[in-house]
Amino acid sequence: MRILITGVAGFIGSNLAGKLLEAGYEVIGVDNFSFGFERNISRFRKLNKFTFIEGDIRDSNCLKNHKSDVIVHLASQKIPRYTNAFRTLDDNNNTLQKIVQKCISDKSRIIYASTSDVYGKNTKLPFSETSDLVLGPTTIKRWAYAISKIYGEQYIIASHEEFGLDYTIGRFFGAYGPNQNPTWWGGPQSVFINKALQKEEMEIHGDGSQTRTFTYVEDTVNAVTRFISDPKSDNQIFNVGATQECEISIIDLARLIWKQINGDKLNPRLKFIPYSDFGKYEDVMARIPDISKLKEFFNFEPAWSLEEGLKKTIAWQREIK
Ligand SMILES: NC(=O)c1ccc[n+]([C@@H]2O[C@H](COP(=O)([O-])OP(=O)(O)OC[C@H]3O[C@@H](n4cnc5c(N)ncnc54)[C@H](O)[C@@H]3O)[C@@H](O)[C@H]2O)c1
């Protein structure tokens, strides 16, 4: 099977490419390096089964001569915390339409990277795939990301009904691990690791009581490889996240990372940043996935504990310093 990955030089894309190449798949990867890194894909460059296209998928010509059985569509803008909402809405819509059109004309399946952020402020935990999606007002720009992904999901489902496009939608919950972007783009763990390595203050947004369920990237990409290889995943939505034991508050995550890097003797240095510093911002106070559908369909369960996953991630982040 030939798999095309958009955003291959990014975090999840490069980890997925590695897993697929190891398993003998042919991989075509595309990236414009807006948020990806050459170092994430350099080890694949000499492999016959890997083709890299440096280009922007908003340009229709970029993938013209490259057909595949499946397109895993990962390239995306994220929550506009420090960036702008226009780019999130415009890019995510534009790239999605290009990829969906390509899948329809090439008769490829699409695997679409959606996000836990679509559940928004829903307070009924854990979130299952049929839970309500509860967003805040459109005047708060952070919702642009969830809106773009909800639109993406519905656009894909409508394209299935209209044009027979086969799809799998994965709603990813906070992935972390080697190759992550070491800035806020990669998530709080990326920044906390950098700061703890420098013994500098770790910035906590709000009071740090908000919780997340962090998923080691190997578990994320193992779920995506099931979507690729198992036809049971056709035309389904799946949460892709860790077990509930991996839920942790952001302040405890900062403390855990500090302890893993600097031990017990030195107290963590924490600096609290009020949400008002981001303009109008609404955070999600708790995010826990119900992953029973993943288990029921594929007998799949995430294997990594947060402590073990963080050790691997810290070792990698030390190396790239
Ligand atoms: N990492 C997570 O925890 C997480 C959680 C939920 C959802 N997701 C979704 O998973 C996907 C992958 O996330 P990630 O963390 O690997 O992101 P990432 O930013 O590390 O990777 C995305 C890659 O896409 C590339 N890209 C962006 N726009 C492009 C364009 N127009 N043309 C070509 N390349 C382009 C970037 O350069 C980057 O390398 C995204 O769709 C994201 O919304 C990720």
pLDDT of residue 258: 97
Mutual orientation of helices 188-198 and 306-320 as an angle, nearest 10°? Answer: 60
Q: What is the pLDDT of residue 278?
A: 78
| CB count in 10 Å sphere of residue 245 | 10
Q: Ligand 1 atom closest to Cα of 186?
A: 15
**Looking at 25, 112, 119, 145, which residue is catalytic?**
145
* pLDDT computed for residue 56 by the predictor: 98
Q: What is the model's pLDDT at position 265?
A: 85
Who contacts 174 (Cβ-Cβ below 8 Å, separation ≥6)?
Answer: 116, 187, 212, 213, 214, 215, 241, 287
Question: What is the atom index within ligand 1 of the atom nearest the CA of 145?
Answer: 43
For the chain, domains (ranges, CATH) are 2-176+217-241+288-303 (3.40.50.720)
* 3-class state of residue 202 by DSSP: strand
Assess whether the C-beta atom of 289 lies below 6 angstroms from ligand 1: no
Mapped onto helix, strand or coil, the DSSP state of residue 211 is strand
Tell me, using a 6 A CB cutoff, whether residue 11 lines ligand 1: yes
Please state, in angstroms and rounded to a whole number, the distance separating the CA atoms of residues 306 and 213.
9
Q: Measured between alpha carbons, how far is 195 from 268 in angstroms, rounded to an integer?
A: 10
Tens of pLDDT along the chain (321 residues) come to 999 999 999 999 999 999 999 999 999 999 999 999 999 999 999 999 999 999 999 998 999 999 999 999 999 999 887 778 999 999 999 999 999 999 999 999 999 999 999 999 999 999 999 999 999 999 999 999 999 999 999 999 999 999 999 999 999 999 999 999 999 899 999 999 999 999 999 999 999 999 999 999 999 999 999 999 999 999 999 999 999 889 999 999 999 999 999 998 888 999 999 998 878 889 999 999 999 999 999 999 999 999 999 999 999 999 997
pLDDT in the model for residue 147:
98
82 carries an active-site annotation: no
- Amino acid 190: pLDDT: 96
Query: CA-to-CA distance for 163 and 73, rounded, in angstroms?
Result: 18
Please choose from 12, 30, 142 the residue to mutate so as to test ligand 1's pocket, defined by most ligand atoms within 8 A of CB: 12
Phi then psi for residue 173, to 5 deg, are -105, 125
Joined tokens for residue 250: 């952001």
Between the CA of 133 and the centroid of ligand 1 the distance, in Å, is 22
Alpha helices in 117-249 (DSSP H): 143-163, 188-198, 217-229
H or E element, residue 296: helix 292-298
Residue 179, number of CB atoms within 10 A of its CB: 23
- Neighbour count for residue 229 (Cβ, 10 Å): 15
pLDDT at 303: 96
First to last CA, the chain: 36
- DSSP output for 14-43: HHHHHHHHHTT-EEEEEE-SSS--GGGTGG
Q: Which residue puts its alpha carbon closest to atom 15 of ligand 1?
A: 11
What tokens were used for 236? 């389904």
Measured CA distances, 164 to 5, 64, 156 (Å): 21, 21, 10
Taking each continuous run of H as one helix and of E as one strand, the counts in the chain are 8, 13
Q: How far is the C-alpha of 127 from the C-alpha of 239, rounded, in Å?
A: 8
